[in-house]
Chains A and B, each alone.
Chain A
């Protein structure tokens, strides 16, 4: 199997992500350039998008920079906004075993929702090297994201319309991920637990402080409900 054929397969698989990351990345970049008055904002769009590769963070960062949010809060919010990433690797432990430090590092660094979904789908052409395929997807998705955010920041000032409400893209992203997860019946009760716990967190705390209490309620609920929810089935 030619290296280029495997790469072609990676590219074709990544086309939906090209669409999505361009759209969402540009939204985040436009928002960033709109709210943060700096000559070099395009550079920061590049650096932040390239390093974190996270839609949720890209939007949250705009507020953090504007408000100079305390780094401890940045740390905690990043933890909660992205904690689902800690679960993705479990499905890839075997696939990424013994591939060398730098390849593993890169594949882990770039493990976003969409890249994870494509890696798990794993449509490697027969005879192709699965790791080359995986690296192709990871690198392409990474590139799409960087380009989207940077282009958005560069062009954002020249929009003919107001960008008010563009950050709804982040809410929409989570709704889409949630909808897909809830197609699977076993995810519906956990999702409900999440919603109820979040509402409870919000009732007793301000928006900025609600995530930690919500997470505590979620974990506690799952430990209490383990008999009902853990059939000890596939993990």
Chain B
């Protein structure tokens, strides 16, 4: 049934593209022509970003256990260890890709070989 899957993928791609580009364009659409940005919007904008990222971290960690049993998979120890390594390595070396690569590789080894 590849035909209908193709239509789905096209539609999904279009939706993702449209929403993402609208989000990126948001400040320019609203305040591009020199209109003054209300203080409350600036405030929300400033505090929302770290909050959204933190929320996404929690979301990602919860999503791991969408179909996997928490207790049967080491009570999240692989996730915890890998996350700590990412943070520690990043605080130390400040290299995003080193942190992401090492954390991911260690995580893969942990869930495939250890737990």
Contact = CB atoms under 8 A, between A and B. Distances in A.
Interface residues of B, number: 70
A84 B95 CA distance: 21
B46 A235 contact: yes
A162 interface: yes
Contacts of A71: 11-12, 15
Which of A164, A171, A174, A198 counts the most chain B CB atoms within 10 A?
A171
Given A16-B97, A176-B86, A90 B37 contact: yes
Contacts of B71: none
Interface in B62-88: 62-66, 78-79, 82-83, 86-87
A86 B51 contact: no
Which of B46, B48, B55 counts the most chain A CB atoms within 10 A?
B55
Interface in B1-23: 2, 5, 8-9, 11-13, 15-17, 19-21, 23
Contact of A218 (B5, B31, B51, B64): B51
A191 B58 CA distance: 11
7 contacts: A20-B100, A80-B55, A93-B31, A168-B103, A171-B60, A197-B51, A207-B66
B112 A235 contact: no
Say whether chain A's binding surface is mostly helix, strand, loop, or mixed: helix
Given A20-B100, A207-B65, 16 more contacts: A23-B101, A48-B13, A61-B12, A65-B5, A65-B9, A71-B12, A89-B28, A96-B28, A162-B112, A166-B108, A176-B90, A178-B50, A180-B96, A202-B58, A202-B62, A207-B63
Interface in A192-218: 192-195, 197-199, 201-202, 207-208, 210-211, 214-215, 218
Given A51-B17, A61-B16, A165-B111, A194 B52 contact: yes
Interface residues of A, number: 93
Contact of A74 (B5, B12, B27): B12
A156 B37 CA distance: 46
A208 B23 CA distance: 21
Interface of A: 16, 19-20, 23-24, 27, 38, 44, 47-48, 51-54, 56-57, 61, 64-65, 68-69, 71, 74-75, 78-90, 92-93, 96-97, 104, 108-109, 111, 114, 162-166, 168-182, 187-188, 190-195, 197-199, 201-202, 207-208, 210-211, 214-215, 218-219, 222, 226, 229-230, 232, 235
Contact of B25 (A65, A69, A108, A230): A108
A218 B62 contact: no
Interface string B41-63: 01111111111111111111111
Contacts of B65: 207
A70 B51 CA distance: 27
B44 A165 contact: no
A208 B66 contact: yes
